Structure 1
Amino acid sequence: MTVYLLRHGATEWSDTGRHTGRTDVPLTGVGEERARQVGGLPKDVPVLCSPRSRAVRTAELAGLTVTEVTEDLAEWDYGDYEGLTTAEIRESVPGWTVWTHPCPNGETAEEVTARARRVLDRVQDAVLVGHGHFSRVLAAVWIGQVAGFGVHFRHDPATVTVLGHERESPQIVRIGVSS
């Protein structure tokens, strides 16, 4: 079983560090160009995609045919912190990170972990097209960790992380590869 995680291309908000969960922000020109350059993805497996246009467009530009659009692959719901940068949030909550602190009126780390488990439990070989924080949670859950462990991974826009196995042990085969 191999799962490919494709993060959407760059948006104005991702370039400026704004937390972008529910807001539907389009790709930038650079985001579109880098999405076109994504390679190494299988064409003969199911492709599940977040419903946000930045993810759907990235899949299209990468030459993928989306077989299912699902809210289960949406980005972490940042609640009241939607559209804010970490620096802005830290003005009122010193030391805040999405990995260690709550998002008022958004998802908890436990809820995001459960959603990631639900996604991974229902796929075999597949491409999952989504978002930065949630893809990092998927990688953490794949190796038996919780959402907060995602802090240890980097997943830039329009890059691929590959989840697989070494014998029976879940393994991160590649992380944040651009082609």
Structure 2
Amino acid sequence: MAPKRLPKVYLVRHGETEWTINGRHTGVTDLLLTANGEAIMLKLGSKAVGPGKIIDPNLLSTVLVSPRLRAKRTFELIFSHLSEKPPHIIEEGVREWTYGDYEGFYKHEAAAARKAKGLPSGEGGWDIWVDGCEGGESPEEMTARVDEVIKSIKETHRAWVEHPDRKNGDEGGDVVIISHGHFSRCFLTRWLNLPLTNGRLFVLDPGGVCVMQYYHHDMDKPMLGAMNLGLV
């Protein structure tokens, strides 16, 4: 008989906002999606969410949604064509990196602010992966927060796989996260057990879907399955 399918994580970055277009850092600021962002999320839902599609609602254990309006709206839109939305939780743990004093700043503005204070800075005058954010979260704090989310998800996965009533060939246990740009890059990095600075190697576009899974049937070997699905 076929072995149990190991659950997956689907990481969805919220749709386009005015600040994702112009590059301002959006942490706690509650921006709405643009009209184009809403249209793209509706299209993503019809294309990627449904039985036999990238995200199959029949296989979901839960959806973790950032408390920001742009993430909540993304959840509503991508599941709007279904007769019933999947179970979901508004989860602080998957919120965006807290930018603190750099909220709403362009990168060059954060670099200038650091230079004016004589603060050490990394590549380009400000490297969030090394410097973190004054009044916000450090790389160490982000690592700890993301690791807690990953730990919880892996516990959910393992509980599903090891449930005594599960049979070979059963499918399910998947988790969807609807979050933000920097959080997503942090999650991808830490899922692969890499140092957080490797987050600079990944880009998740607004409305993109990434898939995290395990190597064959070994839950001790997390892998990256795909990136930026559903956008074309």
Q: TM-score range by the shorter chain?
A: over 0.9
The residue number in structure 2 matching 1:41 is 55
* Alignment of 1:172 onto 2:193: no
Q: What are structure 2's unaligned runs of at least 5 residues?
A: 1-6, 49-53, 80-84, 115-123, 158-173
Partner Cα distance (1:33, 1:146) in 2: 36
The residue number in structure 1 matching 2:20 is 14
Q: Which has the larger radius of gyration?
A: 2
The residue number in structure 2 matching 1:88 is 109
The residue number in structure 2 matching 1:59 is 75
The residue number in structure 2 matching 1:110 is 140
Partner Cα distance (1:131, 1:85) in 2: 17
Give the direction of change, closer, same or farther, for the CA distance of 1:120–1:72 in structure 2 (3 Å limit): same
TM-score by length of 1: 0.94
Give the direction of change, closer, same or farther, for the CA distance of 1:161–1:27 in structure 2 (3 Å limit): same
Q: CA deviation at 1:104?
A: 0.3
Q: 3-state DSSP class of the match of 2:128? A: coil
Q: 3-state DSSP class of the match of 2:224? A: strand
- Alignment partner of 2:130 out of 82, 100, 106: 100
Q: Is the 8 A contact 1:137 1:146 kept in 2?
A: no
Identity, % of aligned positions: 39
Partner Cα distance (2:181, 2:130) in 1: 16
Partner Cα distance (1:91, 1:67) in 2: 40
Amino acid at match of 2:69: S
My pick for the range that moved more, 65-74 or 48-57, is 65-74
TM-score by length of 2: 0.74
- Alignment partner of 2:208 out of 159, 165, 171: 159
The Cα RMSD (Å) is: 1.4
Q: 3-state DSSP class of the match of 1:171? A: strand
* Alignment of 1:75 onto 2:96: yes
Q: 3-state DSSP class of the match of 2:130? A: coil
Q: Is the 8 A contact 1:49 1:66 kept in 2?
A: no
